[in-house]
Amino acid sequence: MNEELIIGIDRLKNPSLNKSTAFTSEERDKYKLHGLLPTAITTQDTQLKRVLANLHRQESNIARYIFLNSLQSRNERLFFRLVSENIKEMLPIIYTPTVGEACQEFAHIYQQQKGLTLSATNRGQIKEVLQNWPHKDVRIIVVTDGERILGLGDLGANGMGIPIGKLSLYTACAGIHPEYCMPVMLDVGTNNVSLREDPLYLGLTQKRIQGDEYLSLVDEFVQAVQEIFPKALIQFEDFLTPNAYALLEKYRKSILCFNDDIQGTAAMALSGVLASCGITGHAFKDLRLMFLGAGSAATGIGDLIKLALVAEGLTESEAVQRLWFVDENGLICKERDDLMPHNLPYAHEQPMLSFIGAINHFKPHVLIGATGVGGTFNSKVVKAMCKHNEHPVLLSLSNPTSRSECTAQQAYEWSDGNVIFASGSPFPPVTIEGGRRFIPGQGNNVYIFPGVGLGALAGDASIITDEMFLIAAKTLAKQVSKTELLNGTIYPDLDNILDISLLIAEQVATYVFEQGLNRSPQPGDIKKVLQDMMYNTIY
């Protein structure tokens, strides 16, 4: 429908067209808005001040989340301007850690549908349901089935908060127009009994469907997307690790898709490791790395680091010798018979060791936590890392904050300020005994997926490859300034996230054209294509 024909109350109720009190006198004439708004005509700047002040009136993060959620439903451009101009303040509300709480409370704070719900009861009709979506040119889909929401486990249909949040970041951090974005919840039931028994729960109150029944439903969705939204990139998010790998392997070579927890996370972690070499003076190709946790996040990182080491001239088996994994049962090694397929390449010929035993045996330079279990880096762990390194690198990646392997305060205190630290969810600056102050970085895939998605979109890519994540990691690492490195920070300032995403997108799109992965003709100037695509939040 021609947007100019949307008038009166319908214009005010349309979040993408609504300017509320900023509608000018001429617009009020044209769109028949007189009487439907107060007399004063305000600027968007004044509106920004008002919403920010009202946000600050809210007394808890979940109240701030609900406030922002309502703003997004009322006035999209104001919401995205508020978020992108105050990204460091807004990220912890619309994303981790508060988005975790919002998912846990999803059914209790629900106000209005955002995103598309596809339920197991829609089998056979997924195409028709996709056609109910109000926008016809979808380019980015973030889909979850809610089974591994951050480190919070199976949250069933409540997991919808994650695709909504990730897609808000596509707009706020990479300028992708909200109409290109479609959050999807594949509601296949939940094995979380307390949710099934919650009278307010909004999903299917049955156990999860599994096996072929599950895979064929996902397949119906993926194939329907190819038909209804043929240009759309599918980002798989927060699937349980075995499904995450199974779906990625099934579709990565033929469908435009990636798994953010495996591949996006990997690029973010690799970038941090590369940047850390600028502080420690180690050569990347000489590093030894250990992981606590051996799920999709940890092995995804391992796989990309292996690729990066091979690109530095190591053989694949030499690269594997640099990567050691420990899970709840101890070291991933050949003698174990309980390993999942994605662990097998990293099972070393080595007798079983405990976590601390493995640190002391292997003496890693870098320790990466992706367990989903808070407190698993205790003082003994941090001190063991310090015994072997002047400046150990510690990435405590689990989300939300309650699941972080350690806090920033603990990491700096236990290491006497010597650790190079970043965490998946943000921690405030830390001052340790003696008055030394540290600003911990945030090691989160938000640095990667918006740029990679935008690059794939600008290049009209047919598939996403691991090389794109390697490119994204290297581009991101170069954005850390000398001053940041001197301060022990290995991720660039989040205030620069839009520029960073644009740089990543440019590199990814360039690669797409170089490799002939583009589905449309190559434009003359990629930078201009990206600039022209930028969503304008200002009215």
Ligand X SMILES: NC(=O)C1=CN([C@@H]2O[C@H](COP(=O)(O)OP(=O)(O)OC[C@H]3O[C@@H](n4cnc5c(N)ncnc54)[C@H](OP(=O)(O)O)[C@@H]3O)[C@@H](O)[C@H]2O)C=CC1
Cα distances from 489 to residues 248, 395, 422, 475, 484, in angstroms, run 32, 12, 8, 16, 5
Establish if 371 lies at the interface with ligand X (CB under 6 A): yes
Which parts of 419-498 are beta strand (E)? 420-423, 430-431, 437-438, 441-442
Q: Which is nearer to ligand X, 79 or 170 (CB)?
A: 170
Is 444 annotated as a binding-site member? Answer: yes
Closest separation in Å from C-beta 96 to ligand CC(=O)C(=O)O: 6
DSSP 209-240: P-HHHHHHHHHHHHHHHHHHSTTPEEEE-S--
- Under DSSP, the state recorded for 373 is -
Establish if 373 lies at the interface with ligand X (CB under 6 A): yes
Q: Quote the tokens at residue 9.
A: 């109350």
> Is omega for the bond preceding 134 within 30 degrees of 0, making it cis?
no
The letter for the amino acid at 335 is E
Closest to 291 (Cα-Cα) out of 332, 236, 336: 332
**Residue 329 binding target from ligand X, Mg ion, ligand CC(=O)C(=O)O, none, CB below 5 to 8 Å by type:** ligand X
Binding-site size, ligand CC(=O)C(=O)O (CB under 6 A): 9
* 14: Cβ contacts below 8 Å, ≥ 6 apart: 6
Cα–Cα distance measured from residue 109 to residue 348, given in angstroms and rounded to the nearest whole number:
47
Q: Which is nearer to ligand X, 140 or 290 (CB)?
A: 290
* Other Cβ atoms within 10 Å of 348 Cβ, number: 18
Which one of 33, 94, 102, 150 is in contact with ligand CC(=O)C(=O)O (CB under 6 A)? Answer: 150
Which one of 145, 261, 405, 466 is in contact with Mg ion (CB under 5 A)? Answer: 261
Catalytic residue among 19, 166, 231, 306: 166
- 359-397 exposure pattern, b = at least 16 Cβ within 10 A, e = fewer: beebebbbbbbbbbbbebbeeebbebbbeebebbbbbbb
For residues 344-403, which are near ligand CC(=O)C(=O)O according to CB under 6 A?
Answer: 399
- Partner residues linked to 117 by β-bridges: 185
Segment contacting Mg ion (CB under 5 A): 20-28, 241-249, 257-265, 412-420?
257-265
Establish if 445 lies at the interface with ligand X (CB under 6 A): yes
Active site residue 180: no
Which one of 75, 122, 190, 241 is in contact with ligand X (CB under 6 A)? Answer: 241
Active site residue 95: yes
Closest separation in Å from C-beta 266 to ligand X: 9
Cα–Cα distance measured from residue 413 to residue 406, given in angstroms and rounded to the nearest whole number:
11
Which one of 190, 445, 507, 537 is in contact with ligand CC(=O)C(=O)O (CB under 6 A)? Answer: 445
The letter for the amino acid at 403 is R
Q: Which is nearer to ligand CC(=O)C(=O)O, 343 or 396 (CB)?
A: 396
Q: By the 8 A CB rule, do 417 and 432 touch? A: yes
Count the residues in the chain: 539
Closest separation in Å from C-beta 149 to ligand CC(=O)C(=O)O: 8
For residues 29-68, which are near ligand X according to CB under 6 A?
Answer: none
- Under DSSP, the state recorded for 60 is S
CA dihedral 414, 304, 219, 174 (to 10 degrees): 80
Q: By the 8 A CB rule, do 97 and 398 touch? A: no
Q: Which is nearer to ligand CC(=O)C(=O)O, 238 or 460 (CB)?
A: 238
CA dihedral 388, 389, 390, 394 (to 10 degrees): -130
Cα–Cα distance measured from residue 173 to residue 317, given in angstroms and rounded to the nearest whole number:
38
For residues 253-282, which are near ligand X according to CB under 6 A?
Answer: 261, 265, 268
Is 148 annotated as a binding-site member? Answer: yes
Which parts of 337-385 are beta strand (E)? 366-369
* 20: Cβ contacts below 8 Å, ≥ 6 apart: 12, 37, 47, 74, 75, 78
Is 525 annotated as a binding-site member? Answer: no
Pattern of binders to ligand X over 145-184, x per CB under 6 A? ---x-xx---------------------------------
Q: By the 8 A CB rule, do 414 and 367 touch? A: no
Catalytic residue among 31, 65, 95, 491: 95
Cα distances from 300 to residues 141, 269, 469, in angstroms, run 21, 10, 11
**Residue 173 binding target from Mg ion, ligand CC(=O)C(=O)O, ligand X, none, CB below 5 to 8 Å by type:** none
For residues 319-338, which are near ligand X according to CB under 6 A?
Answer: 327-329
**Residue 268 binding target from ligand X, Mg ion, ligand CC(=O)C(=O)O, none, CB below 5 to 8 Å by type:** ligand X
Closest separation in Å from C-beta 169 to ligand CC(=O)C(=O)O: 10
Is 506 annotated as a binding-site member? Answer: no
Binding-site size, Mg ion (CB under 5 A): 2
Which one of 147, 401, 403, 458 is in contact with ligand X (CB under 6 A)? Answer: 403
Establish if 372 lies at the interface with ligand X (CB under 6 A): yes
Q: Which is nearer to ligand CC(=O)C(=O)O, 152 or 326 (CB)?
A: 152
Q: Residue numbers of the site for Mg ion (CB under 5 A)?
A: 238, 261
The annotated binding site for (S)-malate is made up of 148, 399, 444
Q: Which residues contribute to the site for ligand X (CB under 6 A)?
A: 148, 150-151, 241, 261, 265, 268, 292-298, 327-329, 370-373, 376, 397-399, 403, 424, 443-445
Q: Which residues are catalytic?
A: 95, 166
Q: What residue numbers does the annotated binding site for a divalent metal cation cover? A: 237-238, 261
- Give residues in contact with ligand CC(=O)C(=O)O (CB under 6 A): 96, 150, 238, 260-261, 399, 424, 444-445
The annotation places the binding site at 148, 237-238, 261, 399, 444
